[in-house]
Amino acid sequence: MDLLRFATAGSVDDGKSTLIGRLLLDSKAIFEDQLEAVERTSMAKGYDYTDLALLTDGLRSEREQGITIDVAYRYFATPTRKFIIADTPGHVQYTRNMVTGASTADLGLVLVDARQGLTEQSRRHAVILSLLRVPHLVLAVNKMDLVDFSEDVFNSIQNEFTSFATKLTIPDLTIVPISALQGDNVVKRSEHMPWYAGPSLIHHLEHVHVASDRDLVDARFPVQYVVRPKSDEFHDYRGYAGRIAGGVLKPGDDVLVLPSGFTSTIAGIDHFHTEIEEAFPPMSVTIRLADDLDVSRGDMICRPQNAPEPSQDIDAMVCWMTNAPLRPRQKLAIKHTTRTGRVLVKDVQYRLDVNTLHRDLETKELGLNEIGRVQLRTTIPLLCDPYEKNRTTGSFILVDEATGVTVGAGMIN
């Protein structure tokens, strides 16, 4: 059994909560007491049906307003896979939540209402998923029951979306007609849509091939922590603990340590009591080197012929997440892999209209929930790759030094 993380997006009332409620219910991730609580609430509200959407409504204040306004994580499993859903709300102003949910997702699930077809919001959701390099996209055309399960309606939405998607980076696109309320094509193939030859939604989620999504060629190991027991038994032990960000590392491999430029050989790779023969992403391991080098947190272990270019001038797409705008000459803290430093905003080159992909070159700032191309100068060199090559070594967060709040998310070009 492996793990698939996916992010959901849809405009209000497209049926996202109903769909998630159904996935949880049909995979038995919902328990009797949770269902009872929701049945009670549905009755109290005077509904004559159980509102599955209530299963996933989070915090009370949001429940009172009847809207979801933050990323919520849900869990369910089928016999073949465990799923983590990052459930992100679809409001205009909450781009930051979608970016957050998409940042860890292997797959993005965008819902549209069959009666309305593609909206500005559905296009935006696809754009954000593509910017965040989520490798698989599923467009679920929901409420097919309300358009008489019409093949024509589905085809026209499919065609419109496919032609829009050519402007984006979407390596793998699947489009499924469903009814979240009635269950058509959610778990089982629907009898109402014999014209649809593809898999049910859950079948696709269970089988989508994610093994090749991670970079297994370019070895990247950001050092997180130095393990030095200094005990009698492990007197001379010195291990570099961290999580493999890319590539496959093996004992005996020649390595290069950045930024120092020293080279050595991997003496061993430890995971608790076992020595590992091959370490690959996203494993957490401890690497021992053959030579006594001065390696510390923030350094990067890679291969001599294949290393990232250390750089203090960073060109990135930034999603801004706070009210006060991002402006040139602003100073912020940055966290990239296991390195932290400070940055100076050199320039806001353009703001991207996530609905039309239009580049606005006039505005020299980014407001809350806006995404744009930004030039930064860092106090320390970042050991980075383009985000499109590696989502771990290509991403960073920006932090306001006064409040400590995370205010920006960056993807390096």
Ligand X SMILES: Nc1nc2c(ncn2[C@@H]2O[C@H](COP(=O)(O)OP(=O)(O)O)[C@@H](O)[C@H]2O)c(=O)[nH]1
Phi, psi values for residue 282, rounded to 5°: -105, 45
Burial letters for 35-55: b for 16+ Cβ neighbours within 10 Å, e otherwise?
beebeeebeeeeeeebbbbbb
Give the contacts of 247 (CB within 8 A, at least 6 positions apart).
215, 216, 217, 218, 219, 220, 280, 281, 302, 303, 306
Burial of 196 (0-12, 13-18, 19+ CB in 10 A): buried
**Residue 399, contacted partner among other proteins, ligand X, none, CB below 5-8 A by kind:** other proteins
Q: Which of 78, 100, 121, 179: binder of ligand X (CB under 6 A)?
A: 179
DSSP string, 219-255: -EEEEEEEE---SSTTTT--EEEEE--BS-B-TT-EE
100 scored as a contact of ligand X (CB under 6 A): no
**Residue 125, contacted partner among other proteins, ligand X, none, CB below 5-8 A by kind:** none
102 scored as a contact of ligand X (CB under 6 A): no
Burial of 380 (0-12, 13-18, 19+ CB in 10 A): middle
In the complex with other proteins, the residue whose CB is nearer, 74 or 124, is: 74
**Residue 290, contacted partner among other proteins, ligand X, none, CB below 5-8 A by kind:** none
Alpha helices in 140-194, H assignment, sequence order: 151-165
- In eight-state DSSP terms, residue 106 is S
Q: Which of 18, 88, 103, 264: binder of ligand X (CB under 6 A)?
A: 18
DSSP H or E run through 84: strand 81-87
Give the contacts of 357 (CB within 8 A, at least 6 positions apart).
127, 167
- Among 106, 101, 73, which Cα is nearest to 208's? 106
373 scored as a contact of ligand X (CB under 6 A): no
Closest contact distance (angstroms) between CB of 48 and other proteins is: 21
In the complex with ligand X, the residue whose CB is nearer, 145 or 347, is: 145
> Which residues pair with residue 299 across a beta bridge?
none
- Among 305, 245, 253, which Cα is nearest to 277's? 253
**Residue 222, contacted partner among other proteins, ligand X, none, CB below 5-8 A by kind:** none
**Residue 142, contacted partner among other proteins, ligand X, none, CB below 5-8 A by kind:** ligand X
10 scored as a contact of ligand X (CB under 6 A): yes
- Among 368, 220, 334, 340, which Cα is nearest to 283's? 220
In the complex with ligand X, the residue whose CB is nearer, 56 or 393, is: 56
Closest contact distance (angstroms) between CB of 204 and ligand X is: 17
**Residue 15, contacted partner among ligand X, other proteins, none, CB below 5-8 A by kind:** ligand X
Before 251, cis peptide (omega within 30)? Answer: no
**Residue 174, contacted partner among ligand X, other proteins, none, CB below 5-8 A by kind:** none
Q: Is the dihedral of CA 152, 158, 162, 165 positive or negative?
A: positive
In the complex with ligand X, the residue whose CB is nearer, 201 or 383, is: 201
- What one-letter code names the amino acid at 74? R
How many alpha carbons lie under 13 Å from residue 258 in its C-beta half-sphere?
Answer: 24
**Residue 308, contacted partner among other proteins, ligand X, none, CB below 5-8 A by kind:** other proteins
- Residues numbered 138 to 157 that lie near ligand X (CB under 6 A) are 142-143, 145-146
Closest contact distance (angstroms) between CB of 178 and ligand X is: 7
In the complex with ligand X, the residue whose CB is nearer, 10 or 101, is: 10
12 scored as a contact of ligand X (CB under 6 A): yes
107 within 8 A of 138, measured Cβ to Cβ: yes
Span of 16-24, 169-177, 190-198, 236-244 interacting with ligand X by CB under 6 A = 16-24
Residue nearest to ligand X (CB): 15
Closest contact distance (angstroms) between CB of 103 and other proteins is: 4
- What one-letter code names the amino acid at 117? G
- Residues numbered 34 to 53 that lie near ligand X (CB under 6 A) are 53
Span of 69-77, 173-181, 279-287, 373-381 interacting with ligand X by CB under 6 A = 173-181
Closest contact distance (angstroms) between CB of 225 and other proteins is: 4
Closest contact distance (angstroms) between CB of 378 and other proteins is: 15
Closest contact distance (angstroms) between CB of 11 and other proteins is: 20
In the complex with ligand X, the residue whose CB is nearer, 57 or 385, is: 57
User: Where do contacts with ligand X occur on this chain (CB under 6 A)?
Assistant: 10, 12-18, 53, 142-143, 145-146, 179-181
